[in-house]
Each structure stands twice: as C-alpha cells, then as structure tokens.
Amino acid sequence: MNSIKNIKYMKSLTNYKKGLRLVWSPCKLALKGLIGSVLILTGIQSSLQAQEVQYTKPSWYFGVAGGANFNFYRGTTQQLTTGFTVPSAFYDGNGVGLYVAPLIEFHRPDTRLGFIFQAGYDSRKGAFKKVTSPCNCPEDLKTDLSYFTIEPSLRFAPFKSNFYLYGGPRFAFDIANSFTYRKGINPAYPTQVADPDVKGNFSRTNNSLISMQIGAGYDIPLSKQKKRTQLVLSPFVSFQPYFGQDPRSIESWNITTVRAGIALKIGSGRRIEAPVEAVIPIVIPEPIVQFTVNAPVNIPTERRVRELFPLRNYVFFDLGSSEVPNRYVLLTKDQVKDFKERQLEVIAPKELSGRSKRQMVVYYNVINILGDRLNKNPSTTITLVGSSMKGPKDGRQMAESVKKYLVDMFQIDPSRIGIEGRVKPQIPSEQPGGKLELVLLREGDRRVSIESNSPALLMEFQSGPDAPLKPIEIVSVQEAPVDSYVSVKVEGAKEAFSSWSLEIADESGKVQNFGPYSQEMVSIPGKSILGDRPSGDYKLTMVGQAKSGKVIRKETSAHMVLWSPSTTEEMMRFSILYEFNKSTAITMYEKYLTEIVIPKIPTGGTVIIHGHTDIIGGEDYNLKLSIGRAEDVRTILESGLAKAGRSDVKFEVHGFGADQTLAPFENKYPEERFYNRTVIIDIVPVK
C-alpha cells in the first residue's frame, strides 16, 4: 500500500514540473532555426564580390555549441522524496548527458582577450552504483537531472592564435529532476515477485545553482578569407568542478562534469580596401657585420713542450663494478721493480686512441705513481675514500680494491692506508635538483678519492681532501699549436644572424663547407682545410642567415700554409683544472700561478691561454664557460706580472667550449671529461 501511495505522490510532483519543461521548448526551436541558417549562409556566395577582394577575420561570431557531458556523482542520497526513503543509501555514480546551446562570441583578430556567451540545455543525467538492501535485494537508482544554463566566459588566446582558453561562472536553473528507482528480488528466492519501478521527482532540489567552469578550444576555419561570411568549427573541452553543484538542499550529493564538444560559428568580415597609390616596397636594412680571416704565416717550427701535467687524485670506477677498470695500468710484482714516473710511455694502457693517448698514459698509471711515491716517502699516509650511489658499503669495496693492489704489488704497509665509504664525493658533479645528463655526471661521481696531508704527495701550495697529486713532467713534441689555426671572426653575428657558415674554395673551385656556427669567432686547424697540401690560396665566403630570413654573403681571400715541424723551439705548458660548472679558479691556484708559473715566463715571451669544457651542457653555455675560465687565468697572471713590474708579455686568449675537434682529450670516460674542464697555459719564448 505504501508503494502505491508513493507512486501517486510522485505523479503529482511530475505535473508540477511540466510547466518548467515548457521553458526549454522555445530554446529547441531557436536552435533548429540557427543551425538551418548557418547551413544556408555557408552555401551563399555574393556575386558582387570580386575575386581579388579580401576581408578581415570577423570580430563577432554567432552559432551553436553541442557536446557530451561526462557526469561524475559523488556523495550520498537516500531520501528521494518527502515521503519516500530507500532502504540503503546510494553513493557515487556517473553518466553521459547532452549539452546544446546557442552562442555569441567576440574577439578582435590577432588579439588575446574576448568573451563567449552561451545559454542552453545542460543534462546531468546518470546512474548511481548498485547497492544491496537489508533484505539482500539489489537496488538501482537512475536520474534524469537537467538544467537551463547561462555561461558567460572570458576568452584568452595566449599566443594570439587559433588556440584559446576560457573560463567563467555557470548559472543553472532546474528544468527536470526525475528519477527511476528499482528494487530487485533476493537471489535466494527466485520465485519472488519484484516491486514495480518507482518513478518520480526528487524533493528539496535547488532550483538554481551558481558554479564555474574552465576550458580550452581551437578554431578551425572552414571558409577562405576572400569571403565576407566566414564559418569556423571549434572543438572544445571544459571542466566544471563540484563547487556549487549540489542538486539538492539535503544530503551530500554533488556533481563534477567534463564536457567535450564542437561549436559551429559564423561571422562577417570587414572588407579590406585596396590601396589607391602604388605600394612602396619596404627595404629591410642589411645587418652590419664585419667578416675577417686570420691565416697565420705558420713559419715551420717544432715545438718541444716541457709540460707539467696535473695529476687528479681520483680513480674512476665503472657502474656496477667495484674492481679497478681495465683501462688503468695494473702491474705485476716484477714490473713494479722497473717502474719509473719519467718513462710511463713504456707501460701504456690497453684502451687508448687519438689525441688522448699521450697524456692519458700518465693518468692511467695514477695508482702506480701513487705506490711509487709512497715507497719513496715511507712516513706518508693516505686515505682512500670511495663514493657510490649504492651506499657507503659499495664505496668501501671500491677503495679496498685500490688498497689491495697497493699492498700486494707495491708492498705498502696496510696501516698507512685508511679506508672510507661515502654516497657522494666531497665535490660532486651531480648537483641537487639537476635533471640533465645525469648518467655522465653520476659516472664522474663514482670514484675513489686519494686524500693526504703530505706535501711530498701533493701539488705545490695545495691542501685539503681534494687537493691534486704532484704533477708529472712530460717532454714531447707538440702537434699543430693553437696559434697556427685559421681564425675566422664575424663581429656582430650574435645580433644579426640566427646562424652562419663558411664556404672555402681553393684555386680549382673545390668547395668545403664548415658550420653552422652561432658564436662570433671560430678556429679551424689548417690541416682540416689544406689536407696534405703544403699551402694554397683560398676564397672564404661567410653565409649568414639573418633573423629576418634574408641570406647575407661576405667574401674574403687568404693564403694558407700547412704547419709542419722543422726548427726547434722549446716551450712550457701548465694546466689548471676546474670542477664541474665552475669558471673561477680555486683560491689555492692563485698562489701556484703567481709563484710557480709566472717565474717561468721569459722576457718578451708569449702566453697562449686556451680554455675548454667537457661535453656536458649546451654549446653556447660551454663556450662562455671556457672563455670565462681562460680570462680568469689571464687576470691572475697579468696581476702577478704587474706587481713584479713587468709589461713585456704578450697574451693570447681563446675559448673553445666543448669543441671536440679542439679538446685536449676525448669524452668517452669520466677521466677524460674531468681533464677537459681545463685551462692550458702555453709559454712560448721570443722567436
């Protein structure tokens, strides 16, 4: 009997809502008329328009938007009407409803701001999740909730393009709030007769709601600009959070909606009047750049280099292994007896090639050099600190590998060698918050650091846990020096060009291409241009791509001579090593440069300073970093010479960044990358 009473009650409430539904009927008619008008207008082409006539994009658009509302119910509802409460509360659910609305839109062409106004039918229909009543009967609840909405929005095109964002308030007026409740039978009693469905309207619903929405859309023109009437198709998506979207004034039911759809818009452009007078072409001035080439005479000399090669106090380990890598030279007991620092080239590593070979022979003997020095200085002690991302235990195992080799092969007393394990070294390459090229940085941080307080082991004026070991003196013949390279300078290139390149043609017209470049000065080894030719006359053409799109060409010529050894000229070389991403020399290097390097500079000599970086980081950044390092060293040397009352020294400063054709070493292993973070100081006597 109660069910029959409830049904009658629901019918009376349904009649109450019929008047509200009539509000939507005129909207349907208006929408149908608007869609028909849009389709008719797109087929009309005015015969009065000449083919050459152009129109602006419209500022005002009228049209219709349609799409699907993806509705998500949250919260609970149980009392469906004043006299009807279901046995179990329903909670959460979802559904898809129709959205359709006429629209008005305003935004001037090629501007960012505008507005959109939409008013129409907005369905929030859906179904709650199935629940079970105390009698073990399944219960279902579906709703046909719908509103008449008014949605004014601010339109924002961040790039002044067809893409736009929009957002604003949403005013919703209830036009339907019916439900269908179904109670099934207990599965244990299959012959039981199910109760009839209960249909009605929710009681205590909110007749009006105020909420908000944000969304994005993209305008796709369907008409050519030569037509006055222009049609646009705009896919869009919006998000309407649950704030303010409570259908009822009781319980906790709220709705979140994601809307996706398409808007069809039509507008009328303004005619662009053809100019009466002749069009005067706009002449874009050619960027001002100065193109110069310096090709040194390259008087044949053989530079014998007496180099103090710095010795890093690190042994780098491969990822996943705590054994000393094969690229390091590991001696037998018989070989240890004949080991000498000044004859390292006799004992070469297995995995070396190219320009790194000579100096890496030194470095890959670092453990043997350490063992030899410990034997020569029996009172010295060291601490081996292993750093591993796997933890201090793995770091200690790495350090134990180095210690075991020193004890077994060089017979070092174990008590002279301390062991520690860390996660990060004292001066790590990987910095907090870093996200780029982490693999290379972590390879550099997986190492064993050799720490000591003994001056007999360390570089002059150095102290602290990461002080380098005393350098090795190397005497060798230098390959083509930096001051023999062909230098090309394009002053103003950074402001004038997006990039520039070189075309170098010989006497027969054969062309070689170099670049593209972004910096203002580049250096090219003469051999890269001449090949095996002893000399030649060349025409060099700079081809610049201006930022306006214009191509600028400038030409010059140069006579080039291949550098080759003949007479003897001796020079000295020193190196300053930098930590990762640092451009300022460590304070302890200033005393070294002042008291060790400056006294070696002869009267009237030339100091050639060239800075380098490893391959980690961007090209432009590394170039600036290498120049900063080289200038930093020159500043210290010039200051020291001035204090000594000297002004007879000529300086040449070069920054090569990460240029792998000019770098001192390869970049395959962390050892090589650490040594590429350097400034090399060549001291050349008067010719």
Instruction: Please report the DSSP string for 293-307 in residue order.
Output: EE------EEEEEEE
Task: Provide the CATH number for the domain formed by 2-45+54-272 in this structure.
Answer: 2.40.160
Pick the CATH number of 570-684 from 3.30.70.1450, 3.30.1330.60, 3.60.21.10, 3.30.420.40: 3.30.1330.60
CATH architecture of 290-300+480-561: Sandwich (2.60)
Ordered alpha helix ranges (H), 226-380: 333-337, 357-363, 366-376
pLDDT at residue 189, as a whole number = 87
Question: Within the chain, which residue ranges are assigned CATH 3.30.1330.60?
Answer: 313-467, 570-684
HSE (CB half, 13 Å, CA atoms) of 514? 19
pLDDT at residue 464, as a whole number = 67
Question: Within the chain, which residue ranges are assigned CATH 2.60.40.10?
Answer: 290-300+480-561
Q: What is the mean pLDDT of residues 669-683?
A: 87
Question: In Å, how far are 71, 377, 394, 557, 603 from 466, measured between CA atoms?
Answer: 63, 20, 20, 50, 35
Question: Which element (helix H / strand E) includes 9?
Answer: helix 2-21
Question: Within the chain, which residue ranges are assigned CATH 2.40.160?
Answer: 2-45+54-272
pLDDT of 471-511, one tens digit each? Answer: 887 766 555 555 567 778 888 777 778 888 888 898 888 89
Residue 314: both structure tokens together: 């690190």
pLDDT of 142-175, one tens digit each? Answer: 999 999 999 999 999 999 899 999 999 999 999 9
String of b and e for 459-477 (b: at least 16 CB within 10 Å)?
Answer: bebbeeebbbbbbbebeee
Task: Provide the CATH number for the domain formed by 313-467 in this structure.
Answer: 3.30.1330.60
Of 160, 161, 265, 164, the closest CA to residue 223 belongs to: 265
Average pLDDT, the chain: 81
Question: In Å, how far are 64, 74, 169, 218 from 150, measured between CA atoms?
Answer: 14, 24, 9, 22
DSSP label at 431? Answer: P
Q: What is the mean pLDDT of residues 232-252?
A: 94
Asked if 150 and 171 touch (Cβ cutoff 8 Å), the reply is: yes
How does residue 69 score in pLDDT terms, banded at 50, 70 and 90? very high
Q: What is the mean pLDDT of residues 18-29?
A: 44
Residue, of 383 and 531, whose pLDDT is higher: 383
